Chains A and B, each alone.
Chain A
Amino acid sequence: MSEQLIDGQTGSWEIVVGLEIHAQAITQAKLFSGAATEFGAAANTQVSLVDAAMPGMLPVINMECVHQAIRSGLGLKAKINLHSVFDRKNYFYPDLPQGYQISQFKQPIIGEGCVSIETEEGGIKEIGVERLHLEQDAGKSVHDRHPRKTYIDLNRSGVGLMEIVSKPDIRSAEEAAAYVTKVRAILRYIGTCDGNMEEGSLRADVNVSVRRPGEDLGTRCEIKNVNSIRFVRMAVEIEARRQVDLIEAGGTVDQETRLFDPDRGETRTMRSKEEAHDYRYFPDPDLLPLEFDQALVDQLAAELPELPDEKYARFVANHGLSEYDARVLIDDRETADFFERTLTDGESKRDPKIAANWIVTELFGALNAADRSIQNSPISSAQLGGLLDLIADGTISGRIAKEVFTEMFNTGSDAGMIVKAKGLEQISDTGEIEAIIAKIIADSPDQADQYRSGNEKIAGWFVGQTMKASQGRANPGMVNKILKAKLK
C-alpha cells in the first residue's frame, strides 16, 4: 500500500477515488423512445416527440436497453435486481427538454458487483461496483456557433446510458485508469457499449479526495465528464495534488463539482456545494416499476460471451501463454479473437505461443507504426496463420519470415505468394547446402585450419558465410550439422 501514497510537505497522503462511468448502451433506439441513436447525424434529426418533451408525450421503456444493462451487470459480476424503479431527477437546462432526467435513484436495475484490475506491482485488486443504473442522456448545447445564442441538438436527448458507480476503492491515478480500462473492455466484450470515448459514448465522473493514511475519508470533489483514460489518470493526479497543497497550506477542500482542463493541466470550480441542485428525485409516475423474470437473466447469462478474466485464465492454462502475452491479447476482444483465429484459420493448427509472440511483437509493432487498429490490419489472421505454417514446415526460416511479414503488411499479399515470387524458400536440400559449404571451405583454407587446430569458435563465422551465400535461405540446423562434418 505504502508505495501508493503521495508525498506532501508535511508527510504522506492517500488518494481515494470513486468513479461514475456513463456508458451509452448499444441499441437501435433510445431508452424511452423509438428515435435512432446513431452518432454523427445532422443536428435534431434523431428526435422523437418524446425526446423533445412535447406536451402529453409519455416514455415507454426500450427492453433492448434493459437487456444491455442486465448483460453489463452480469459482466460486472453484479446482483441483478428483478424489480427496479425509474425516478425523475429534476433540473432546468435547455438541453434537458423534460425538465427532468429519467434515471434510477433508490432502486437501480443492477446492484453490487466487482471488477478486478491489475495493480502496478502486477497483483490483482478487486474494485467494488456499487450499482449500475439506466438513465437518459441529455441533448447537447452548442455555444460556439453564434456570439449571443446557444444552439441545442437533441439527437442525444433520451439515449440510454448505463451509469456504473464504483465504490471508493481506488487508491491511485493508475488504478483509476486501470479500472476504466477494464470496465470498458468488459462492456466491449459483451457488446453493450462501444467504449468510444472520443464520441462520448463512454465518459467518467471522477470523485477524488485525500486523507492521511488510516484516517476517515476526506471531502471529495467531483470532476465531471472526463473523456479519455489518459485524462482520468491526469485528473486524479492533478486534483489530488491540488487538494494536498490546499490542505497543507491551511485550507480546506470544499465539496464541489469541478471541471478538468487538460490544456492547462488544472481542475477548476464548476459548481459549489451551495449552487448544487436539489434534484427532487421521485418515482416517475409515467412508468411502472421495471420487472422481469430470473429466466430472462439466465437466458442472457447463457448467451454471454467469454469475459476478459476468463479468457485470460484460459489463454494461460490451455494455450500455455505467458501472463504478459495473455494480458496483452485479452485487452480487447478484437485482439483476442484475432489471436484465436490465427490459431485455427485455414487447414492446420498453430502453436499458440509462437502465434502470440508474432502478434504481440511483430503485428502490434507494425500496427502502431502505421497507426492502425487490429480491426483494419492489412494482414488477416488467416494470412498470419499461413506465414506461421511456412515457418513450422521449414519452408522459410524465422529470419526470412520477418522479411516476408513486412512485405505482407505493406502489400496485403499472402506469405506463400511472396515466398514463391521472391524465391525465399529455405534450402533444406543436403546436396545444395553441401555444395555451398564445400565452396566456402575451399575458398577459406586459413579459417578451416584454425578450426581443425582447435578453434571451434570459428564455426560461427562459417555459418554466417553459408547463410550469406544462400541469402539466408539455408536451413540453419542443417548448415550446422553439415559444417561440422565437412570441417573434420
Chain B
Amino acid sequence: MADYELTDLTIAAARTGLRNRDFSSVELVQAHIDAGEAARDLNAYITPTPERAQTMAAAADAALASDEAGMLTGIPIAVKDLFCTQGVATTAASHILEGFIPPYESSVTANLWRQGGVMLGKANLDEFAMGSANVTSYYGTVTNPWQATSGPLKGKDLVPGGSSGGSASAVASRIAMGAVGTDTGGSIRQPASFCGVVGMKPTYGRCSRWGTIAFASSLDQAGPLTRSVEDAAIMLGAMAGHDPKDSTSVDIDVPDYQAGLRASVKGLKVGIPKEYRVDDMPPEIDALWQAGAEWLRQAGAEIVEISLPLTKYALPCYYIVAPAEASSNLARYDGIRYGLRVDGKDLVDTYEGTRAAGFGDEVQRRIMIGTYVLSSGYYDAYYLKAQKVRTRIAEDFRAVFTECDVLLTPTAPSSAFAIGEKMDDPIAMYLNDIFTVPASMAGLPALSLPAGLDAQGLPLGLQLIGQAFDEARLLSVAQSLETAAAFDKRPIRSGAA
C-alpha cells in the first residue's frame, strides 16, 4: 500500500502513477467507489455507476498495458447528471425525467471516455441546473464537505453552491478526481468557490452542447471541476473541440492547455473591474481580492484598474434571458414521449398535471418568468431590451480587453451558507451569481480557484475572466495565482484524512 491515499491525488499525479504502474486504474477507481460509499450522506451522486466504472477501469488498465493511453485513461470522473449518458439514467435532478435512459451519449462525455476517462456516476445538481445552492434537486440537497470552524454556521450543514453542487462536493470530498459540470450563470464557478476547488467555464462554443440537457442554450457551457489548475487544463483539453452536431460550437483548434500552463505572467496586464466592489461585500473577500492582485503583481503582472460600467445590469438581464430560453427549452417535457406522465381527463389536464408534478418550484418559477418576458406586449420591454444590454455588456468586455489581458474578481459575494438559508428569497439566492453572470452573458471563459479561507474557515474563490478562446492564457494566469495562493486546506469531510 502506498504511503498516500489514492483519492488525494490530482489527475496529473494519478496519470503519472498509472503510467508508472504504481497502481492500477481498477485500484484507483475502487478507492473512489469506496470513498463515495462512505460519503453517501453528502448526496453528491444521484446515480453512482460503480459497475460501469470498474468495467471502464479494466479497459483503461488494458490500454495502459498496451501503451494506448489517452489524456484521461484510468481517471475516475463524476458527471453532472445533466449530460446524457447512454444506458444510464439521466435525470437533470428532475422528477419529470423519471425513468429516462438516453440511447445516446453527450458529445462532451463521449470525448472524455474516448480519452480513457472512467465514469464514477451521475452527480447531483439543482433541478435543470437552476439554482445556486443545490437545494432544488428532486433527489435531495447536496451537502458541502466543508464545515465552519467558528461562528454561527459552526456545526451546520452547508450548501455546496449550485447548480453543479454534486460535482463540486464530490471533487472537494475526494470521492471523484475531477468532475464535468455545466455553467450557465456561474454553475461551475460558484460551487467551486464554495467547495474550495477549481472550476472553469470555457468560452461559449468551446465545448459541444450536444447531448447536454439544455437550460439556457445561449449561455450553457460545459467545463471541468478539479482540485488543481493543471487538472482543469487536462480535463478541458479532453472535453473541448468542434462538434458539427452543435451549430454554436466553434471550429477552432484546441491548444495543449497543460503545456501552456508554465507561461509566465510577466508583463501581462491584469484588470481589476471597480464595479465588482459591491457595497455589502464581506471585507475578507475584498482583502483576498487585493491579495490576489498583489500575488500576480509579484509574479510580474501589471495591475490596472478598469471599468465595466454595465456590470450591475448583467444579473437582471440574465434573469430575463436565461428563463426565457428555459421556458422554451423545457416545453419538450410534456409527458408525451418520455419521462413522467400524469394522465389527466384530457390533453391540457395531462400537460398541466405532468408539469405540475414533474417540475419543482424553482423550475416552475423560471418557466413562468420566461413565459412572461416573451409574451406579446412584454417582449420588447424585457427580452429584447435584455438582449440589447447583453450586447453592450459584451462590447464593454471587448473594450477593456484592449487595456488588459485578464480580469481578476471575487467569484462569489460570500462563502457557503447553511442549507435552508435564502430558500424563501429568490432574489437573495440569485445574487450569488452577481460576479459570475457578466462573463456568461459575454460568452467569455472564466475560472474560479480557491485562494483562502474566511474567518469561519470556509473557502473563498477568486475568479479570472479571459478573452474569448483565450483559455490557455487564462489557465496560465490561474496557475501562477494558484502557486502564490498555495491553498492547501481540505474540507473536514474528505476521506481518511
A residues near B (Cβ < 8 Å) are: 49, 52-61, 88, 90, 92, 94, 97-100, 152, 278, 280-282, 284-288
Instruction: Decide: B248 and A94 in contact? CB cutoff 8 A.
Output: no
27 contacts between A and B (CB under 8 A): A49-B103, A53-B332, A54-B102, A54-B104, A55-B84, A55-B332, A56-B84, A56-B102, A56-B214, A58-B210, A59-B247, A60-B244, A61-B247, A88-B328, A92-B331, A97-B336, A99-B334, A278-B375, A280-B374, A280-B375, A282-B328, A285-B216, A285-B218, A286-B214, A286-B248, A287-B247, A288-B247
Q: Determine the residue in chain B with the shortest Cβ distance to A61.
A: B247
The SS class assigned to the A binding surface is: loop
- Top 4 nearest A-B pairs by Cβ distance? A99-B331, A280-B374, A285-B218, A285-B217
Instruction: Decide: B383 and A282 in contact? CB cutoff 8 A.
Output: yes
The tally of residues in B whose CB lies under 8 Å from a CB in A reads 43
Instruction: Decide: B332 and A97 in contact? CB cutoff 8 A.
Output: yes
- Most-contacted residue by chain B among A56, A59, A99, A282 (CB, 10 A): A56
Q: Determine the residue in chain A with the shortest Cβ distance to B211.
A: A56
User: What 1/0 flags go to B345-358 for Cβ under 8 Å of A?
Assistant: 00100010000000
Query: Cβ of B449 < 8 Å from any Cβ of A?
Result: no
Residues of A within 8 A of B214 (CB): 55-56, 286
Residues of A within 8 A of B217 (CB): 284-286
Instruction: Decide: A57 and B210 in contact? CB cutoff 8 A.
Output: yes
Q: Determine the residue in chain B with the shortest Cβ distance to A50.
A: B245
Q: Determine the residue in chain A with the shortest Cβ distance to B332.
A: A53
Q: Determine the residue in chain B with the shortest Cβ distance to A32.
A: B247
Taking A60-B247, A282-B383 as contacts, is the C-beta distance between A52 and B337 under 8 angstroms? yes
Partner of B90, one of A55, A57, A97: A55
Assembly CA distance A282 to B323 (angstroms): 13
Q: Determine the residue in chain A with the shortest Cβ distance to B384.
A: A282
Instruction: Give the Cβ gap from B318 to chain A, nearest Cβ, in Å.
Output: 14
Residues of A within 8 A of B332 (CB): 53, 55, 97-99
Residues of A within 8 A of B97 (CB): 55
Query: Cβ of B436 < 8 Å from any Cβ of A?
Result: no
Instruction: Decide: B247 and A286 in contact? CB cutoff 8 A.
Output: yes
Residues of A within 8 A of B376 (CB): 278, 280
Instruction: Give the Cβ gap from B427 to chain A, nearest Cβ, in Å.
Output: 24
Query: Cβ of B129 < 8 Å from any Cβ of A?
Result: no
Residues of B within 8 A of A286 (CB): 214, 217, 247-248
Instruction: Decide: B244 and A100 in contact? CB cutoff 8 A.
Output: no
Partner of A49, one of B83, B104, B374: B104
Residues of B within 8 A of A99 (CB): 328, 330-332, 334
Instruction: Decide: A58 and B104 in contact? CB cutoff 8 A.
Output: no
Assembly CA distance A138 to B218 (angstroms): 25
Assembly CA distance A49 to B375 (angstroms): 29
Residues of B within 8 A of A49 (CB): 103-104
Assembly CA distance A434 to B218 (angstroms): 94
Instruction: Decide: A55 and B247 in contact? CB cutoff 8 A.
Output: no
Instruction: Decide: B328 and A280 in contact? CB cutoff 8 A.
Output: yes
Instruction: Decide: B210 and A56 in contact? CB cutoff 8 A.
Output: yes
Residues of A within 8 A of B102 (CB): 54-56
Instruction: Decide: A54 and B338 in contact? CB cutoff 8 A.
Output: yes
Residues of B within 8 A of A278 (CB): 375-376
Instruction: Decide: A100 and B336 in contact? CB cutoff 8 A.
Output: no
Assembly CA distance A58 to B217 (angstroms): 10
Query: Cβ of B212 < 8 Å from any Cβ of A?
Result: yes
Query: Cβ of B124 < 8 Å from any Cβ of A?
Result: no
Assembly CA distance A284 to B329 (angstroms): 10
Query: Cβ of B64 < 8 Å from any Cβ of A?
Result: no
Instruction: Decide: B351 and A92 in contact? CB cutoff 8 A.
Output: yes
Taking A54-B102, A60-B247, A99-B331 as contacts, is the C-beta distance between A152 and B218 under 8 angstroms? no
Assembly CA distance A286 to B247 (angstroms): 7
Complex interface residues of chain B between 289 and 345 (CB less than 8 A to chain A): 324-325, 327-328, 330-332, 334, 336-338
Instruction: Give the Cβ gap from A89 to chain B, nearest Cβ, in Å.
Output: 10
Assembly CA distance A58 to B329 (angstroms): 11
Q: Determine the residue in chain B with the shortest Cβ distance to A34.
A: B245
Query: Cβ of B11 < 8 Å from any Cβ of A?
Result: no
Instruction: Give the Cβ gap from B165 to chain A, nearest Cβ, in Å.
Output: 20
User: What 1/0 flags go to B381-423 for Cβ under 8 Å of A?
Assistant: 0010000000000000000000000000000000000000000
Residues of A within 8 A of B375 (CB): 278, 280
Query: Cβ of B203 < 8 Å from any Cβ of A?
Result: no
List 4 additional contacts besides A53-B332, A58-B209; criterion CB under 8 Å: A54-B338, A55-B213, A56-B83, A287-B248
Taking A56-B106, A56-B211 as contacts, is the C-beta distance between A282 and B245 under 8 angstroms? no
Instruction: Give the Cβ gap from B349 to chain A, nearest Cβ, in Å.
Output: 12
Assembly CA distance A284 to B106 (angstroms): 21
Query: Cβ of B23 < 8 Å from any Cβ of A?
Result: no
Assembly CA distance A375 to B330 (angstroms): 48
Assembly CA distance A99 to B330 (angstroms): 8
Instruction: Give the Cβ gap from B319 to chain A, nearest Cβ, in Å.
Output: 16
Residues of B within 8 A of A88 (CB): 328
Residues of A within 8 A of B73 (CB): none
Instruction: Give the Cβ gap from A86 to chain B, nearest Cβ, in Å.
Output: 10
Q: Determine the residue in chain A with the shortest Cβ distance to B355.
A: A92
Instruction: Give the Cβ gap from B375 to chain A, nearest Cβ, in Å.
Output: 6
Partner of B248, one of A61, A282, A288: A288
Instruction: Give the Cβ gap from B220 to chain A, nearest Cβ, in Å.
Output: 9
- Most-contacted residue by chain A among B90, B214, B336 (CB, 10 A): B336
Query: Cβ of B487 < 8 Å from any Cβ of A?
Result: no
Assembly CA distance A92 to B103 (angstroms): 25
Assembly CA distance A278 to B338 (angstroms): 26
Instruction: Decide: B247 and A58 in contact? CB cutoff 8 A.
Output: yes
Query: Cβ of B37 < 8 Å from any Cβ of A?
Result: no
Residues of A within 8 A of B351 (CB): 92
Q: Determine the residue in chain B with the shortest Cβ distance to A86.
A: B247
Query: Cβ of B92 < 8 Å from any Cβ of A?
Result: yes
Assembly CA distance A92 to B84 (angstroms): 24
Query: Cβ of B371 < 8 Å from any Cβ of A?
Result: yes
Partner of A98, one of B210, B212, B331, B383: B331
Instruction: Decide: A152 and B336 in contact? CB cutoff 8 A.
Output: yes
Query: Cβ of B284 < 8 Å from any Cβ of A?
Result: no
Instruction: Give the Cβ gap from B85 to chain A, nearest Cβ, in Å.
Output: 10
Assembly CA distance A67 to B379 (angstroms): 32
